[in-house]
Structure 1
Amino acid sequence: MTDWIEHFRAAARGLIVAHVWRGYGSTLFLELGELTPSRRRDESPAAPRGEIGLMIEWSWRIEDQRSVLCGSFSDEEFWALTFGRLVGREVIGLSTFGRLPEILLSLRDGLDVASFMTTEGDPAWTMFDRRAPECIALC
């Protein structure tokens, strides 16, 4: 898995967070780099997709240098404001941490997005590389 983390680290570094959106429940999506329009199976418009994508199904948090700004269990009223703070920021790092690999996306100006599973099972995050005709996914 280390080689794949390095693949995504290199691919994400320097990209800009172009779009942040909420999926089902508290699922968080961050779209990095140039956006491409997308459609659902029924052909209705869907959220645009970035060159690189990060999905954290649940148990995530967004941090600044001193505190947690919001997380998957925060009041949803804080989400939109905090998501907006991520857009336009450059990715400066991507790493995993912990015995069971959690993901940490570090952005310029001290903001971080982290997964952290809080119940039984595996961490619930996935990275997508959509730069080639075939999407590469790591979860």
Structure 2
Amino acid sequence: LGHQVLGLALGARTFKLPFGHHGGNHPVRRLADGKVEITSQNHGFAVDLWSLTDRTPPQAGGLAGPELLPDSVATDFGEIRPTHQNLNDGTLEGVECLEVPAFSVQYHPEAAPGPNDASVLFDHFVERVT
């Protein structure tokens, strides 16, 4: 819910996924270093980062394909960038605000279905708020 709320607060739209993300085995790419996290997810909507641009998103099977998210987007709160992407359908799974201390992911990092795959997010949170 927090990821979608942040997306809406930044001015993005959300959309209903054709197939919701449910379960503990969803591969998500961390865009900064290309590492893949195995995540636990339970959502039926996604944030449309392209809705913050005047560009037409590249399409792959009706959704933005892997590695086809915008590099960064300007919002009323400053520049934001995508941080995580679902490898099954290419949807946005994480975003970070570059000028205010806010970021979000659309999965459950505390669930850690992989070997502590997303634990780095908690360290990043502490860095951003201190």
TM-score range, shorter chain: under 0.3
